[in-house]
Structure 1
Amino acid sequence: MKQPYYTRRGLLTTGLLGGAGLLSGCGSLLQAVERDEPRLYRLDPDVSLPSSLPRVDWHLVVADVNSGSDMDSLRIPLQQTPLQVEYFARANWTNHLSDMVANRMLAAFENSGSILNVGRESLSLNPDYRLRTEVRNFQAEYFNGTPPEIHVGLAQRLLSVQDSRVVATKIFETRQKAEQDSMDAIIRAFNAAFGKVLTEIIPWTLQQGESDYRARQNS
């Protein structure tokens, strides 16, 4: 199988620094990686929301995102096989993935114009609902050769704060093929895939929360 372009130029793997035996013969690779400053990339998803979104009066907190130790990093993950996680060399996120996902999700809610009372977990809010997010997938996959396919999967859980009840859960998942095996094209595909997922998460959250809130008000 053809190796990814950035792999040939010095891919860092999760096991590369695991033992002295793995470092033998890799001196030039490590020196090349240390010598070159990584390029920084940010998530900037395009979120296209329908005009039919409900306008809601309840308060929502976007909770801290759980992305796991293999993804909650400045490094950008890739997989050449389902069981191995690697990272692109000389390419980093501008922030840890969990913070970027939470901040972009919050911005999407704010930009929707449908909910005024929304914020991050750290703010002093008295929310009606809390949205918890678990990152299941957020990597470039080379399973079928190059260019890679970006795989984004977010598990959502909407909780009622008043009675600690789970209102709704759903997994949102999509894949987006990169136009070519270059870092810029791969980041564009990350943004496209993440945007597609957010385009589904925002309406789902507002609709599920509004339905539950109205039912409680009428009970």
Structure 2
Amino acid sequence: MKRISLIKLLAPACLLALAGCSVLAGGDRQSITIYAPQVRVQADPGWPQVSWQLAIAKPSAARLIDSPRINVRPTPGELEVYRGATWAQPATDILEDTLLRGFEDSGKIDAVARIATGIRSDYKLTTDLRRFESDYRGGEVPAATIELNAKLIHSLDQRVVAARTFVVAEPAASAEISSVAAAFETALNKTSSELIGWTLLSGQRDAAQLRSGGK
């Protein structure tokens, strides 16, 4: 495997803030490239038009995942980060922003907002981001891998309407970090599209049952 541009997570320098992660190589300060995934989820014509409101909770994640550092897994038991590269914001913020924009742009829902806004929502979407990493999986080229668990909760009685784990692994064109970042855009688009469609369908099914007295 090509090991250039990797830093082990256990190295003290990588536990510092962004400025502290500009490591010195041969006496020269290394520049940091900031990657900001630009994802625009296209609405699926098969998604239902819904009349209920949705609140999106801040995604939860382990501390190593909820970070601007770009994680890479060269072997199954080893986690490192790319040297000289970072996300523009933590992975959970990237996911939250993408989902909110995806729901809004879909035109399929009356209202959607972050849960922190305090809107009176009919349903709440919670997510646990379990993986957001470049995974070599024993090969020469990594795959941008996103794994998250989602729960759709009925706000009135806190009943779990539906739960599902989403996993997407998008192979990068090469081992270069720019290619890995591009693969993350595609993986995030796929994950978000699947999650948005699942949320709309699950919520609409539950809302129809409530209207008919099925629950």
Which TM-score applies when normalising by structure 2? 0.89
Aligned partner of 2:24 in structure 1 is 31
Q: CA deviation at 1:192?
A: 0.7
Contact 2:75 2:138 in 1 (8 A): no
C-alpha distance in 2, partners of 1:44/1:30? 27
C-alpha distance in 2, partners of 1:198/1:99? 13
1:21-64 CA distances to partner (integer Å, 9 max, x unpaired)? Answer: xxxxxxxx942298123111112235233212211111101110
Any idea what SS the aligned residue of 1:47 has?
Answer: coil
1:152 to 146, 166, 182: 146
In the TM superposition, 1:27-176 aligns within 5 A as: 30-32=23-25, 35-176=29-170
Q: Which amino acid aligns with 1:177?
A: P
2:7 to 12, 28, 42: 12
Q: Which amino acid aligns with 1:139?
A: E
Q: CA deviation at 1:208?
A: 0.5
Aligned partner of 1:206 in structure 2 is 200
C-alpha distance in 2, partners of 1:174/1:180? 18
**Identical columns (%):** 28
C-alpha distance in 1, partners of 2:52/2:140? 46
Matched, 1:3 2:28: no
Q: How many residues align?
A: 204
Structure 1 runs not aligned, ≥5 long: 19-28
Which TM-score applies when normalising by structure 1? 0.87
Contact 2:42 2:106 in 1 (8 A): no
C-alpha distance in 1, partners of 2:158/2:116? 19
Cα RMSD for the two superposed structures: 1.8
Structure 2 runs not aligned, ≥5 long: 14-21
